[in-house]
Structure 1
Amino acid sequence: MALNGIVGWSTGGSYNSWGVKITWSAKQNIAGNYSDVTASVSIRSTNSGSWFQRDTDIWLSIDGNSDHKVFGNLLLNPNSTASNVYSRTVRVPHDPGGGKVFALSASMSNGTVGTVSVSGSGGLTDIPRAYSFNYSSDTVQYDSPVTLLVFGNGSGNKANVYFNIGGKEVLAYSNTPFDTNFAVVPKLSDFANITPDMAAAIGYVIVKTFTPDGQNIGSTQKLFTFTMSSSVVPSISNVAQTELVDKIKTVTGSSTLYISNLSQIQLTTTANGIYGSTIKEYNVSIGNLSFTSTSNIQTIDLSQYNIGTGSIVATITVTDSRGRKASIDVTLNVQAYSPPMLKNFKVTRNMDLNTTINIVKSVAVSSIKNGTTEKNSYTVVTKYKKTVDTAWITAKTETNTSANFALTGMAIESSYDIQVTITDKLSESVTVQSNVPSIFMIMSWSDKTVGIGKAAEQGILDIAGKLSDIYVGGISLLDLHYPIGEIKITTNSQNPSATIGGTWERYSKGKVLVGLDESDSDFDTVGKTGGEKTHALVVGLPGNSEIGIYPNNKEATNWGLMTGGGFKNRVMISETENVPYNSKPHNNLQPYITVYLWRRIA
């Protein structure tokens, strides 16, 4: 191969005494991978005659590019040579590998000579092109090395290595060695911000070839998958917790002391994505309960959810736009609470002193402490009135205690209503009322009322005793209205045995009632139970996995076709296992209101 050459002489024409020759030279452009070829046509005469003065048409073709020129009165003396009669310059592109062989042809013709032609080829000196390379793996993790091997070609040119992801190109290695392994490292900090929604991206490793004076003469690139370490996750800097119910904060003297059944806990999570990612989801998990939102502020209403009492651990998990997660545990101090309750409440007339009414009572009040200090004080107010009156009289007010006591000087011919009200710092007042009849009389009467077992006071018929003490047709009113097995619904915590008689038990605690249905196996037996307060959603992925195809036909899970930026129509792979979508239980409760259910058992 060369940068100049000759094609010819070729003889012909009349008397076979005329000749044509092509002389060529080339100037190469390394960066452009082409040569500018200049060719010239020379002619000669080999006989003793003279050249007739005629118009002569000379054609010259270089690498298929042809043109001609007509010469008038072109004179060529006998046995002489006319050099460079016609010249042209044509740009000849080299092959991608840098080599090139091109065709040359020329001809002359006129009415005297006829036509004389010559043809041949020229081989141009190779122009060194881009270096090729090999690699250890076509999947590389950011901030981890990948091994390259650049094959030398003896050209004296240099090579640099670049990473290109989404159109952003970064120099990774300058002036690489040849024919020896060396490591390059893609830096997460260079590319993560342009892939805020992806944990893996498709890009290129590019080896560019430069002349010693810095001209880029070509490049070789290969498709790579760039992945992020599992340690690249969002961060949680703080989770603030506070009580939203002002009354509770006032009572406890704390914004982080919570009361079961009453508190509203607000959790505010401060979290940040990493390398351009954003937080897309916040989840609070407490025991079997799970609350998910796109907001960083979540409220847990303890009147709706039972999270337990004591030091309760809540796990806050944030998920960023790459699907990466971070979690933190916070401790919630929840104290048990029930509304105050009056226990063992009995009101009777003294058998010896009928003008004395004995009141027996005790209370149950939840203890709420901030440290060692009791915060839930309470009062017990006992009132009485004659049954026929409307105005109540306060008999006793007690603070943080409840004692038995007696009312004296009470009229023997009157019935009395006794009312006890308990009020603590957290709940509304709880009031329980009972009645004590007048002294026992088989029968008494007034102008409007007949009394049986007591003094006549009100109504047409005023009967002493409970429903269980009154019989009609041999059957007690208790059995008529509340036969054994009957259920009584009330908001009064007092056992019905104290007011209407019989033996009762609390029934269906924490459960709703469903009508029996003999045709439905779930509801065909009295007393059957079922259902659940929380339920876990488990949605599996289709089949065993979702399969995507790399450019090199490897398999991957959970793939999607990207559409934006430099990633259009490329496959994005996220290496995640085939796991249920959400295996944590969610709340399954219908709206409800609680009451006391009592069932008569005797």
Structure 2
Amino acid sequence: MPDIRLTGTLSSPYVNHTYHLYLDLTINSQSIQNNTSNITLRQWAYSSSDTYQAYSSSTTGNSCWIKINGSNVFYDTRSMDFRNQQVVELGTYTADISHNSDGTLTIAVSSGFDINGPSSLYDGAVSSYNWSLTTIPRASLITSFPEFTIGSGVTVTAPRYSTSFTNTFQINIGGTVIETTGDLAQDSYTFSAAQLDEIYATIPSAVSTTATAYVTTKLNGSQIGSTQSASATANVGSDISPTLSSVTAVETVTAVSNLALGTNNFAQTLSRIQFTINGAAGVKSSSISSYKVVFNSVTYTNTSSVVGTTGAITSTGAIVATATVTDSRGRISTSKTVTCTLLTYNAPEISAFSAFRSDSGGNASPLGTYAKYTAAATISSLNSKNQITYSIKSKLRTSGTWTTTHVSTSLAVGTTSLSVTPVYGTYTATTSYDLLLTVSDKFNSVTAGYVLSSGEVAMSWSKTGIGVGKVWEQGALDIGGDAYYKGTILESSFVSGASTLIGRTLSPLVTLASASAWGDLPNGYCGFISHSSVGAPPVSNYGYFIKIASRDMARGWGGIWIDYSGTGNAFFGRTTDGNVAASWTRIYTSDAAVSHAHDNTSISLSDYVSGTTPKVAGIISGTGAPPTASTVPTGTVYLKYV
């Protein structure tokens, strides 16, 4: 029996007579290997009537045909005889026909015939019929290949259409085969984390990639259909991050390093600490792209393991340095730390330095030719590794060279304080001396000066002058100590040099012709001055000057100059060396074009505090708290330096 029998129709002139037309459809066999079906199409007819029986012996006038998808697969001309109710064969077609790649196949089949003879039949036909053949089992389809984490494995599922089939599974990344199985009689396969490890090498700088799974189905070792594929995202696990073993801190300042302060001990302001990250490594084919250390709120980064070196560190105590590395995938390692202890360090400090005239035993003597010193100083301990070195020198006040070194020595390492009261000599009673104490530690030095005056007497005489309270050294009157006057001091002439004005309380016109002349003025001097251009303010040649303070050693000084001219310019001058011209800073001018001064102009205290007031002195109105936190009443003159 055929698989399907189709019935046809006939047209005039015998349409009402009993003729029967059939097309039998038969699947003879199917080839899974070749994905084909062997089919037979048979067209045949007969008449069930004894009265009307068509026939024609012509072999050319009669025709029959069979079509698949509208095209003849069989055509023939032959004699046809329907008498005696016999079966008339109208053509047979047998062939292998290929299925679609998925094993399915549907074809349109039709057939027909014509007979010309004593009783003609024509338009015999079997209408087109869509014949769906039995599906041939084909390649397995991938039904599951989910997104996965490389380190956790992944299962590829591809059910087989026949237990006789095998599946071969493969994982591929961008054309690189990661893992391939053999021919497996199973519908799924789980690739382990170890098998997928090679994926990491394909993405050294990424945290994900696209993976493709391939499944090839076979029967008896021969491939069935085409290889199937599916894609999924492969992710690097969040636990895959770079590592480092430690971070070390090393002193780079040789002088500090030589002290051997101890492991991870450093000196405040002195040390320069270099951080190095050790044992940093990428993981699963990544590489280290950057190194980072955070220390004392400062971040140091580099592309090499020597991350960076600090500047001066003002903090003290234990400070933690935290190190991390970042790999080419952007993953950051677990941190490692090192604790650095910053030992307190301050420059040496002299707390006392003085001397008085004495005898050789250190007993006070107004005219003694020896001096008993008091010297005290401290240094920072630095774990008892620091050391005090000190010296005491002297020279005549009129000399520019320290001619005598009385002592220059170092105390035991670890000693942090100096306290000595030595006696040195000799010092002529009629002469004053400059004394100098220098205290050093391993890193810095400080100095202090003192003036050992000439011998003390109630009064002394020389050929050219008188000394009061001291041995005379200079001028017509050389006074040591405070002077008290009752009455009026009269001035009969101007004096043209500063060096002769020691002790003068009046304000004559004094002409200063050199930078050193300014240094010669006594501390606290105030007067009316004429000057040349050397070391002077950049204004007119006349003005009022007050010397605020001066140094004993180098005759440095600071003072204020007020211009005598109508501009009313005021300057603050200072120099560290009395022989060197001073530098001057304008602190007031009435010239609005220069600094918009508030010359005798009322300004609000809020403007002053907010910073809108220019660099001037003026009359401030109102009350409130200026930067000094004191109350400024209305009308107070306040100098602001910005």
TM range (shorter): 0.5 to 0.7
CA distance in 2, matches of 1:489, 1:182: 90
Q: Is the CA contact (8 Å cut-off) linking 1:29 and 1:35 kept in structure 2? A: yes
Equivalent position of 1:430 in the other structure: 446
- The alpha-carbon deviation at position 102 of structure 1 amounts to 3.4
Residue 78 in structure 1 maps to residue 67 in structure 2: no
Equivalent position of 1:339 in the other structure: 347
- The alpha-carbon deviation at position 316 of structure 1 amounts to 1.0
Aligned length: 478
Q: Between 42-51 and 233-242, report the one with greater CA deviation.
A: 42-51
Q: Is the CA contact (8 Å cut-off) linking 2:268 and 2:345 kept in structure 1? A: yes
CA distance in 2, matches of 1:346, 1:430: 15
- The alpha-carbon deviation at position 7 of structure 1 amounts to 4.5
Equivalent position of 1:386 in the other structure: 396
- The alpha-carbon deviation at position 254 of structure 1 amounts to 8.5
Equivalent position of 2:583 in the other structure: none
- The alpha-carbon deviation at position 318 of structure 1 amounts to 1.7
- The alpha-carbon deviation at position 332 of structure 1 amounts to 3.5
Residue 12 in structure 1 maps to residue 10 in structure 2: yes
Q: Is the CA contact (8 Å cut-off) linking 2:63 and 2:78 kept in structure 1? A: no
Q: Is the CA contact (8 Å cut-off) linking 1:264 and 1:299 kept in structure 2? A: no
- The alpha-carbon deviation at position 145 of structure 1 amounts to 6.7
Query: What CA deviation, in whole Å up to 9, does each residue of 1:382-415 have, x standing for no partner?
Result: 2111111012121211112653322322122322
CA distance in 1, matches of 2:608, 2:165: 90
Equivalent position of 1:300 in the other structure: 309
Q: Is the CA contact (8 Å cut-off) linking 1:45 and 1:76 kept in structure 2? A: no
Superposed counterparts of 1:369-448, under 5 Å: 375-392=385-402, 393-400=404-411, 402=418, 403-425=420-442, 427-440=443-456, 441-442=467-468
**Identity over the aligned pairs, expressed in percent?**
21
Residue 271 in structure 1 maps to residue 288 in structure 2: no
- The alpha-carbon deviation at position 445 of structure 1 amounts to 6.7
Equivalent position of 1:357 in the other structure: 371
Q: Between 290-299 and 42-51, report the one with greater CA deviation.
A: 42-51
Amino acid at match of 1:35: T
Rg bigger for which structure? 2
SS class of match (1:518): helix
Q: What is the alpha-carbon root mean square deviation over aligned residues?
A: 5.1
Equivalent position of 2:134 in the other structure: 125
Tell me the TM-score normalized by structure 2.
Answer: 0.59
CA distance in 2, matches of 1:316, 1:445: 72
Q: Is the CA contact (8 Å cut-off) linking 1:244 and 1:265 kept in structure 2? A: yes
Query: What CA deviation, in whole Å up to 9, does each residue of 1:509-554 have, x standing for no partner?
Result: xxxxxx9952379x974257xxxxxxxxxxxxxxxxxxxxxxxxxx
Task: Tell me: CA distance 1:410–1:147, structure 2 relative to 1, closer, same or farther (3 Å).
Answer: same
Amino acid at match of 1:379: T
Tell me the TM-score normalized by structure 1.
Answer: 0.62
Query: What CA deviation, in whole Å up to 9, does each residue of 1:156-194 have, x standing for no partner?
Result: 43456665666655458984767xx99764446243333
1:367 is aligned, of 381, 388, 394, to 381
SS class of match (1:325): coil
- The alpha-carbon deviation at position 207 of structure 1 amounts to 6.8
Equivalent position of 1:106 in the other structure: 111
Superposed counterparts of 1:509-528, under 5 Å: 517-519=608-610, 525-527=626-628
Q: Is the CA contact (8 Å cut-off) linking 1:243 and 1:249 kept in structure 2? A: yes
Superposed counterparts of 1:517-556, under 5 Å: 517-519=608-610, 525-527=626-628
1:451 is aligned, of 467, 474, 478, to 478
CA distance in 2, matches of 1:446, 1:335: 51
Unaligned runs of 5+ in 2: 48-52, 359-363, 413-417, 457-466, 482-497, 505-520, 528-545, 551-557, 561-571, 577-605, 613-623, 630-642
Equivalent position of 1:52 in the other structure: 58
CA distance in 1, matches of 2:575, 2:258: 31
Superposed counterparts of 1:240-251, under 5 Å: 240-251=248-259
Amino acid at match of 1:430: V
Amino acid at match of 1:459: S
Equivalent position of 2:322 in the other structure: 315
Query: What CA deviation, in whole Å up to 9, does each residue of 1:214-244 have, x standing for no partner?
Result: 6355788777665555443211134354332
CA distance in 2, matches of 1:77, 1:108: 10
CA distance in 2, matches of 1:293, 1:216: 57
Q: Is the CA contact (8 Å cut-off) linking 2:64 and 2:91 kept in structure 1? A: no
CA distance in 1, matches of 2:54, 2:112: 22
SS class of match (1:272): coil
CA distance in 2, matches of 1:92, 1:221: 21
Residue 215 in structure 1 maps to residue 215 in structure 2: no
- The alpha-carbon deviation at position 330 of structure 1 amounts to 2.5
CA distance in 2, matches of 1:424, 1:155: 92
- The alpha-carbon deviation at position 81 of structure 1 amounts to 4.7
CA distance in 1, matches of 2:182, 2:75: 58
- The alpha-carbon deviation at position 344 of structure 1 amounts to 1.4
The structure showing larger relative contact order (alpha-carbon pairs under 8 Å, at least 6 residues apart) is 1
- The alpha-carbon deviation at position 381 of structure 1 amounts to 1.9
Equivalent position of 2:200 in the other structure: 192
